[in-house]
Amino acid sequence: MSTQLIFERVAVRPRSARARMVAALGPLTMLGGVAWAFLQPYRLTLLHPHGEGFWWLLVEPPVLAVGVGVAFALLIAPGLIEDLEEP
Amino acid sequence: MTPPAEHVHWLFATGFLLLGLCLLARGIVGEDVWCRRAWRAYLWPSLLFGLGVLMWPVMVFFTNSTIHMVAHGAWAQTMMLAGAAELGLLRGKLHHAAWRLAMPFALVVSGTALLVHEQNGWLFSRAAFLHHLLGWSALVGALFPLLAAVRPRSRFAASGLALTLLVIAVMLYSDRDVAPIFGHLSALAGEAHR
């Protein structure tokens, strides 16, 4: 009895420039938010609260920017890249 | 329990940031690829329409003068109009190409309202400076959707509109109730806080 060994070769296609640009939008936005937090740490009231109310502790602009980047990278970019690379 | 005005600007900045990213991605991949999934096609006009709807409570709870109220009302109406027109065009309910002018119209009205309702000079405070800058940015940025209305498949026009919205987001994030601009703060503006 003979057996056959089947080797699967997974073809890895390089991403197109447009796909790379779309993939970079989310991380770049996140990076912008993080850089902003380092440049203006006082915009993150949570880090050093001084008796601020609810809204001052909830709305932290650099965190919002990072959140948008995360949402775009996780929810929008993957499907878009998939559709872009589809022949 | 209403948030301070600057927080409202930051929340709207977040909406514009997401809107700008969606439009930039659409500009990069082209409309055909962007619209390959129905939910994605409806995403940015719905977001724009939603921002217009959310502008109404801002008009009701945060405006302290007639001109301020009229300006916020104009933004609410024109953002809803632009979002609804794009949704109608996508769904096939609207056919006439003139509906594509709703977006440049929204930017022209918004920019004009920003410039008209800001009564102080550029260097009065950061808020005044940003009102002037936002107004002119919206007016100049209106050229991109105007070009897109003539050439709907132009990636330059789509990316230009996206970048305009991203710049608007950055400016809205920079807004503070009372803060100096380039070291200038009028004594009439009040005391700056962190």
- Mean per-residue pLDDT of chain B: 93
Residue A8 has pLDDT above 80, yes or no: no
Give me the pLDDT at residue B184, please. 82
Counting every residue, how long is chain A?
87
Residues of A in contact with B36 (CB under 8 A): 83
Which pLDDT tens digit goes with each residue over B112-163?
999 998 888 898 899 899 999 999 999 999 999 999 999 988 999 999 999 9
Q: Tally A–B CB contacts below 8 A.
A: 63
Give me the pLDDT at residue B4, please. 87
Number of structural domains chain B divides into: 1
DSSP string, B97-121: GGGGGHHHHHHHHHHHHHHHH--S-
CB contact at 8 A, A5 and A47: no
Nearest-CB residue to A22 (from B10, B28, B194)? B28
Give me the pLDDT at residue B194, please. 54
Which pLDDT tens digit goes with each residue over B163-193?
999 999 999 999 888 888 888 888 787 777 6
* Contact status of A21 with chain B (Cβ, < 8 Å): yes
pTM value is 0.91
Residue A7 has pLDDT above 60, yes or no: no
Percentage of chain A exceeding pLDDT 70:
84
Give me the pLDDT at residue B188, please. 82
- Could you give the count of Cα atoms lying within 13 Å of B138 in the half-sphere of its Cβ? 26
Give me the pLDDT at residue B81, please. 98
Nearest-CB residue to A59 (from B1, B7, B28)? B7
Counting every residue, how long is chain B?
194
Q: Which residues contact B38 (CB under 8 A, 6 or more apart)?
A: none
Q: Residue B75: give the domain boundaries.
A: 5-189
Q: Report the range of poorest mean pLDDT among A39-53, B4-18, B80-94.
A: A39-53
What ipTM describes this predicted complex?
Answer: 0.90
Q: What type of residue is B42?
A: Y
Give me the pLDDT at residue A46, please. 81
Residues of A in contact with B18 (CB under 8 A): 68, 71-72
Helix (H) or strand (E) segment spanning residue A83: helix A77-85
Percentage of chain A exceeding pLDDT 90:
57
Which two structure tokens, joined as six digits, stand for B161?
């509109």
Where do the DSSP E strands lie in B31-77?
none
Residue B194 domain-assigned (yes or no): no
* Contact status of A84 with chain B (Cβ, < 8 Å): yes
* Contact status of A23 with chain B (Cβ, < 8 Å): no
Q: B49-72 burial, b for 16+ CB within 10 Å, e for fewer?
A: bebbeebeebbeebbeeeebeebb
Residues of B in contact with A54 (CB under 8 A): 1
Give me the pLDDT at residue B58, please. 93
Between CA B130 and CA B144 the distance in angstroms is 21
DSSP string, B123-168: TS-HHHHHHHHHHHHHHHHTHHHHHHHHSTT-HHHHHHHHHHHHHH
CB contact at 8 A, B34 and B25: yes
Domain with residue B61: its CATH number is: 1.25.40
Residues of A in contact with B28 (CB under 8 A): 18, 21-22
* Contact status of A20 with chain B (Cβ, < 8 Å): no
* Contact status of A7 with chain B (Cβ, < 8 Å): no
Q: B153-186 burial, b for 16+ CB within 10 Å, e for fewer?
A: eeeebbbbbbbbbbbbbebbbbbbbebebeeebe
Give me the pLDDT at residue B90, please. 93
Q: Report the range of poorest mean pLDDT among A4-18, A25-39, B8-22.
A: A4-18
Between CA A8 and CA B105 the distance in angstroms is 56
Is A68 in Cβ contact with B3 (below 8 Å)? no
CB atoms inside a 10 Å sphere around CB A14 = 7
